[in-house]
Chain A
Amino acid sequence: MHRKEKQVRWKESVLFISVLFCFLMLSAKGFAQEKKVSLSCKEMPLSEALTQVERQSEYKLNFNYDELSQFKVTVNIKKESIQNAVATLLKGLPYQMKVNGKFIIVFRKAIQRLQPRNYQRQGAGLTIIRGKVVDTSDKPLPGVNVSFKDHNYGATTDVNGNYAISVEKGGRETMLFSFIGMKTEVVPINCNGDEKTLDVTMKEGNSQLNEVVVTGIFNKPKVSFTGAATIITQDQIKAQGNRNLLKTLSNIDPSFDLQENNLKGSDPNQTLNIEIRGSSTIGSVNELQSNVRNQRNLPLFILDGFEVTSERVMDMNQDDVESVVILKDASATAIYGSRGANGVVVISSKRAELGRVRVAYSAGMNLEIPNLSSYNLMNSFEKIEVEKAAGLYTNSSLSTQLQLDALYNEHLKAANEGVNTNWMRIPLRVGLGQFHKFDISGGIDQFRYILNVSYNQLTGAMKGSKRDNLNGNMTISYLMKKVRFSNNLSVGFNNAANSTYGTFGQYATMNPYWRPYDEKGVPVTSYTLFTSTYPVYNPLYDAAQTSFSKSDYTNIRNTTMLDMDVLPNVKVNASIGFTQQRGGSDYFVSPKSSTYLVTSTDVSSRGLYTQKTNKMSSYQISTTINWAKVYGEHSIYVGTNFQMIETKNNSTSTSVKGFMNDQMTDISNANQYSGTKPTTDESTVRSMGFTGTINYSYAEKYFLDASLREDAASSFGSESRWAPFWSVGVGWEIAHEKWVSKHLSFINQAKLRYSYGVTGSLSFSPYDALTTYTYNNNTQYNYLIGATINSFGNPNLKWQNTIEQNIGLDINLLNRFTLNFNYYHKKTDNLLSDAYLSLSHGYTSYKENLGKIRNTGYDLMVSYTILRYSSHRPIDWSIRAGFYHNTNVLVQLSDAIKKANEAYSNSNYSGGTINEYREGQSLDEIYVLRSAGIDPQTGKRLYIGEDGTVTTNVSGLKKVPVGSSQPKVNGRFGTAFRWKGLNMDFSFGLRLGGKKLNSTLMTKVENAVVTYNQDRRVITQRWRKPGDITAFKSLSGTVDNSYPNDLFVFTENTFTFNNANISFDFPLSWIQKFGMSRMSLGASLGDIFYISNIKQERGTDYPYSIKPTFTFSCTF
Chain B
Amino acid sequence: MYILNPVKMKKINILIILFICLMLSSCNDWLTVEPRAVTSKDKMFTTELGFSSALIGLYLELQNVYSPADFMMGGPSEYMANNYLTSTSETVDSYLYYTHRYTSTTIDSSLGTLFLEYYKVIANCNVLINAMQGQTVVEKGEAAVIEGEALAIRAYCHFELLRLWGPVPTNVDATKKYLPYVTTVETTPYTYITYEAYVQKVKDDFNKAVTLLEAVDPIVAYSNSQLNTSNTSISKYTSLFWYNRQKRFNVYGVKALLARLYLWTGDKDNAYKAAKEIVELKNTGGTLKFTLGTQSDITNSDYLFYAEHLVGLGLTEWIDKVGAFSGRYAAYVNSSSNLISKLYDNQTDMRMNLFNSSFSYSFGQSVYGTRKYSKFTSTDYYSPKSIPLVRLSEMYLILIETAPIDEANQYYKTYRSSRSASYSPLTETTRLREVEKEYVREFFSEGGQSFFAYKRLNASSFFLSSEGMTADKYELPIPTDETGDYK
Contacts and interface: CB of A to CB of B under 8 A. Distances in A.
Given A712-B31, A770-B35, A840-B482, A781 B59 contact: yes
Nearest to A716: B31
Given A784-B52, A836-B484, A772 B38 contact: yes
Contacts of B58: 786, 788
B240 interface: yes
Interface in A814-848: 835-844, 846, 848
Contact of A773 (B39, B59, B487): B39
Interface string A1-25: 0000000000000000000000000
A784 B116 contact: no
Residue of A788, A792, A835, A842 with most chain B CB atoms under a 10 A cut-off: A842
Contacts of B484: 836, 838
A1077 interface: no
Nearest to A848: B187
B112 interface: yes
A848 B187 CA distance: 10
Interface residues of A, number: 55
Interface string B106-123: 000000100110011111
A781 B41 CA distance: 21
Given A781-B56, A838-B482, A787 B2 contact: no
A203 interface: no
Contact of A682 (B35, B55, B121): B35
Interface in A710-731: 712-715, 718, 721
Nearest to B49: A785
A756 B316 CA distance: 61
B44 to A, nearest CB: 5
A53 B4 CA distance: 44
Nearest to B181: A840
Contacts of A794: 187
A776 B31 contact: no
A568 B55 CA distance: 66
Contacts of B56: 781-782, 784-787
Interface in A742-773: 766-767, 770-773
B59 A714 contact: no
A783 interface: yes
A840 B183 CA distance: 11
A895 B485 CA distance: 10
A1090 to B, nearest CB: 45
B243 A787 contact: no
A680 interface: yes
A683 interface: yes
B352 to A, nearest CB: 32
Contacts of B41: 770-773, 789, 793
Interface stretch (A226-234, A499-507, A684-692, A948-956): A684-692
Given A779-B316, A839-B479, A841-B190, A787 B35 contact: no
Interface in A644-698: 680-688
A790 interface: yes
Contacts of B119: 839-842
A785 B32 CA distance: 27
Nearest to A680: B37
B482 A839 contact: yes
Contacts of B59: 781, 786
B375 interface: no
A1039 interface: no
B283 interface: no
Contacts of B189: 838, 840
Q: In this complex, which of B23, B33, B124, B486 has the most chain A Cβ atoms within 10 angstroms of its Cβ?
A: B33
A567 interface: yes
Interface of B is mostly: helix
A783 B230 contact: yes
A774 interface: yes
B115 A839 contact: yes
Contacts of A843: 120, 123
Contacts of A781: 56, 59-60, 247, 314
A782 B240 contact: yes
Contacts of B115: 839-840
Nearest to A767: B35
A782 B123 contact: no
Nearest to B157: A842
A790 B116 CA distance: 14
Interface string B238-276: 001101100110000000000000000000000000000
Interface string B447-487: 00000000000000000000000000000000101111111
Contact of A789 (B112, B127, B243): B127
Contact of B4 (A567, A767, A775, A835): A567
Interface in B22-41: 23, 27-28, 30-33, 35-41
A683 B36 CA distance: 8
Contacts of A846: 187
B33 A787 contact: no
B61 interface: yes
Contact of A788 (B36, B57, B179): B57
A713 B30 CA distance: 10
Interface string A902-926: 0000000000000000000000000
A773 B61 contact: no
Contacts of A767: 35, 38, 40
B6 to A, nearest CB: 15
Interface string B40-52: 1110100000101
B53 interface: yes
Nearest to A837: B187
Given A786-B57, A789-B124, A846-B187, A682 B36 contact: yes
A782 B2 CA distance: 78
Interface core residue of A688, A775, A780, A785 (most chain B CB under 10 Å): A775
A784 B120 contact: no
Nearest to A718: B32
B174 interface: no
A899 B181 CA distance: 26
A686 B119 CA distance: 35
B182 interface: yes
A568 B1 contact: yes
B243 to A, nearest CB: 7
A787 B486 contact: no
Contacts of B35: 682-684, 766-767, 770, 772
Contact of A713 (B31, B112, B479, B486): B31
Interface string A786-821: 111110111000000000000000000000000000
Nearest to A784: B56
A713 B33 CA distance: 10
Contacts of B187: 792, 794, 835, 837, 841, 846, 848
A568 B4 CA distance: 11
B54 interface: yes
Contacts of B42: 770
B261 to A, nearest CB: 21
Contact of A688 (B2, B27, B485): B27
Contacts of B52: 784
Nearest to A789: B124
A766 B33 contact: yes
A309 to B, nearest CB: 20
Given A775-B39, A786-B54, A789-B57, 19 more contacts: A568-B2, A687-B31, A721-B28, A772-B41, A773-B38, A773-B57, A774-B39, A776-B57, A784-B241, A785-B56, A786-B53, A787-B50, A789-B123, A836-B486, A837-B486, A839-B112, A840-B482, A842-B119, A842-B124
17 contacts: A682-B35, A688-B27, A770-B40, A771-B40, A771-B41, A772-B40, A773-B53, A779-B316, A782-B247, A783-B230, A784-B52, A787-B44, A837-B187, A838-B486, A841-B123, A843-B123, A895-B485
Interface of B: 1-2, 4, 23, 27-28, 30-33, 35-42, 44, 50, 52-61, 63, 112, 115-116, 119-124, 127, 179-180, 182, 186-187, 189-190, 230, 240-241, 243-244, 247-248, 314, 316, 320, 479, 481-487
